[in-house]
Structure 1
Amino acid sequence: MKLALALLWLLRLLPLPVIHALAWLLGQLVYLLAKERRRVGLVNLRLCFPDMSPQARRRLIRRHCVEMMKLLLEYGVVWWSSPQRLRQLVEIRGLEHLTRLREAGEDVILFYPHFVAFEICALRLNLEVPLVSVYSHQKNKVLDAQFYKGRNRFDNAYIVSRQESLRSIIKAMRKEHTPFLYLPDQDFGPRDSVFVKFFATDAATITGLSRIATLAKARVVPAIARREGSKFVLDIHPPLENFPSDDLTADTRAMNAFLEQRILEAPEQYFWLHKRFKTRPPGQPKLY
Structure 2
Amino acid sequence: MAKTTTLDKSITDFLGPKHWLTWVAMGIAYSLSFLPWSWQQGVGKYLGRFLHLIAKRRRHICDVNLTICFPDMSKKEREALTKAHFESLGKGTIETFSSWFQGQDKFKSRTTFEGQDVIDKVLAQGRGCILVSGHFSSLDLCGSQMPRFVDAHPIYKLQTNPVMNWVMERQRKAIFSKTIERSNMREVLKSLKQNKAVWYAVDQDYGRKHSVFAPFYGRQCATIAHIGRIAKMTNAPVVLYDYGRTEKGYFLRLSEVENYPSQDDVENATRINALMQEVIEPKKEQYFWSHRRFKTQEDPNSPSPYDKQ
Normalised-by-shorter TM-score class: over 0.9
Deviation of the 1:91 alpha carbon: 1.2
User: What is the aligned partner in structure 1 of residue 189 from structure 2?
Assistant: 170
Q: Percent identity?
A: 29
Tell me the alpha carbon deviations over residues 196-217 of structure 1, each in whole angstroms, 9 at most, x when there is no partner. Answer: 1110211111112111111121
Match of 1:66 in 2: 87
| Letter paired with 1:241 | E
Match of 1:109 among 130, 135, 140: 130
Name the CA distance, whole Å, in 2 between partners of 1:169 and 1:196.
Answer: 24
**Cα contact 1:16–1:230 (8 A) shared by 2:** no
Match of 1:157 among 169, 173, 177: 177
Asked if the contact 1:27–1:69 (Cα under 8 Å) also holds between the matched residues in 2, the reply is yes
Within a 5 Å distance, the mapping from 1:219-234 to structure 2 comes to 219-234=237-252
**TM-score normalised by length of structure 1:** 0.94
Render the CA deviation track for 1:74-93: whole Å, top value 9, x for unaligned: 12321222232232122111
What SS does the aligned partner of 2:178 have?
strand
SS in 1 for 2:196: coil
CA distance in 1, matches of 2:28, 2:120: 37
Question: Residues of 2 paired with 1:128 and 1:258: CA distance?
Answer: 22
Show structure 1 runs of 5+ residues with no match.
none
In structure 2, distance between residues paired with 1:163 and 1:28: 35
CA distance in 2, matches of 1:162, 1:81: 26
Question: Is 1:261 aligned with 2:282?
Answer: no
The question of whether the paired residues in 2 share the 8 Å contact of 1:17 and 1:230 is answered with: no
What amino acid does structure 1 have at the position aligned with 2:111?
Answer: V
Indicate the residue corresponding to 1:287 in structure 2.
Answer: 305
Aligned residue number for residue 236 of structure 2:
218
Contact 1:50 1:200 (8 Å CA) reproduced: no
Distance 1:75 1:276 in 2: 22
SS of the residue corresponding to residue 136 of structure 2 reads coil
Match of 1:54 in 2: 75
Q: Over aligned residues, Cα RMSD in angstroms?
A: 1.4
Task: Tell me the TM-score normalised to structure 2 length.
Answer: 0.88
Equivalent residue, structure 2, for 1:242 = 259
Aligned residues: 284
Q: Which runs of 4+ in 1 moved over 6 A?
A: none
Q: Deviations over 1:127-166 (max 9, x none)?
A: 2332222222222211101111111213x432222232x2
